[in-house]
Structure 1
Amino acid sequence: MNKKGHVLNAILLALGLGVILSVDPRTFQPNDVESYLSIAEKIGQLSLPIVLGALFPDVDTAFGKHRKTLHNLPVLVTFLVFPLIFNNLHFVWIGVATHYVLDMVGSKRGIALFYPLSPQEYDLPTGVATSSKYADPVTLVVTVAELGVLAGVHYYLFSLDVSLAAAAASFSAIL
């Protein structure tokens, strides 16, 4: 996907995830001003990390091999582990992961998930050219699907609004 698509995806993810993490559908009161303030605060907290994460993989256009050097699982694992070690950069991994999803599902070229071990690029047949008139609609569809998955994980598996260590403990308890 192109830069515009990644920015659109990140902004919509920050908005949608802010709502998902702030709203318990069983107890939300739409008349409550404090609820809306809580949602706005959460969106503000998520915006910068998710946008930075969504844009970071394309730094490899300035060096290395685009869609290989920073578009792979070792980079994603680094962003997953980083908050566990340094207790910062929470939610950046969501931006990076959704960047990968958008490049794999939304564009024809795909990404080299296992680089540097393999230069093979993986994609799905759903992709369009980044300059296509369908690029923005595909970005919207992929973003809605990503938000659906994140909502499902948050509401039914484990809270995304906790540290990754707590999420891992919750997930291992489920298994």
Structure 2
Amino acid sequence: MNKRGHVLNAVLLSIGLGYVLDPSGDFSTFARMAEVFLPVVLGALFPDVDTAFGRHRKTLHNLPVLAIFLAHPIYHAGNLQWVWLGVLTHYVLDYLGSKRGIALFYPLSDQEFAFPWGVATTSDWAEGVTVAITVVELLLVAALVHVLPQYLPPEVTQLLAENTALVAQ
């Protein structure tokens, strides 16, 4: 996906996540959207910093980098605790939505992995694929938070419980 697709995904994801974490639809829902918006957008844009240095879709598009971002909220709470979600969804879009894919195991391997039905970033279908992937991501998050929280690691359940009163403990 291109930068526009990643921003579209992050904005839609922030709006949807606000409703998933606080479905009341009142001011608190919009406050939740605002809380997750900037970190998710920053995370969604971060992996493409490797266009300025290194090797694009390799240097910052791999599992070790994702692990660093996933560990961040465990050790440091605060307003950037949602950056990992932006990074993760960036990877999901590049893996599922683009023909080229990403080098998940870089620097151990340069091989790029992609789903067979990805589209070119310049394709007329790129935005539609982005929206479809975003909808699936939100459905998965909603299912994990509201239907299957017992399958989440205890640290994640605790983090979600601190961020929403709706998670069953």
Please state whether the residue corresponding to 2:100 is helix, strand or coil.
Answer: coil
Deviation of 1:94 (Å): 0.6
Amino acid at match of 1:17: L
**2:71 aligned residue (74, 81, 86):** 81
The one-character-per-residue Cα deviations of 1:17-43 (angstroms, maximum 9, x if unpaired) are: 0000002xxxx5xxxxxx410110000
Instruction: Name the CA distance, whole Å, in 2 between partners of 1:7 and 1:167.
Output: 25
Tell me the TM-score normalised to structure 2 length. Answer: 0.87
Instruction: Name the counterpart of 2:120.
Output: 129
Amino acid at match of 1:125: P
Instruction: Name the counterpart of 1:7.
Output: 7
| Mapped contact 1:83–1:164 kept (Cα < 8 A) | no
Question: Per the alignment, do residues 19 and 77 of structure 1 end up closer, same or farther by CA in structure 2, a change over 3 Å counting?
Answer: same
Unpaired segments of 5 or more residues in structure 2? 161-169
Identity %: 56
Deviation of 1:87 (Å): 2.3
| Mapped contact 1:158–1:167 kept (Cα < 8 A) | no
Larger radius of gyration: 1
Instruction: Name the counterpart of 2:106.
Output: 115
How many residues align? The count is 157
Instruction: Name the CA distance, whole Å, in 1 between partners of 2:116 and 2:159.
Output: 32
Instruction: Name the CA distance, whole Å, in 2 between partners of 1:164 and 1:150.
Output: 12
Instruction: Name the counterpart of 1:171.
Output: none
Amino acid at match of 1:6: H
Instruction: Name the CA distance, whole Å, in 1 between partners of 2:73 and 2:20.
Output: 21
Extract structure 1 runs of 4+ deviating beyond 4 A: none
Instruction: Name the CA distance, whole Å, in 1 between partners of 2:22 and 2:57.
Output: 34
**1:105 aligned residue (93, 96, 110):** 96
Unpaired segments of 5 or more residues in structure 1? 29-34, 169-175
Please state whether the residue corresponding to 1:144 is helix, strand or coil.
Answer: helix
Tell me the TM-score normalised to structure 1 length. Answer: 0.84
| Mapped contact 1:10–1:54 kept (Cα < 8 A) | yes
Amino acid at match of 1:104: Y
| Mapped contact 2:149–2:157 kept (Cα < 8 A) | no
Structural mapping, 1:62-81, within 5 Å: 62-81=52-71
Deviation of 1:167 (Å): 5.4
Instruction: Name the CA distance, whole Å, in 2 between partners of 1:58 and 1:163.
Output: 29
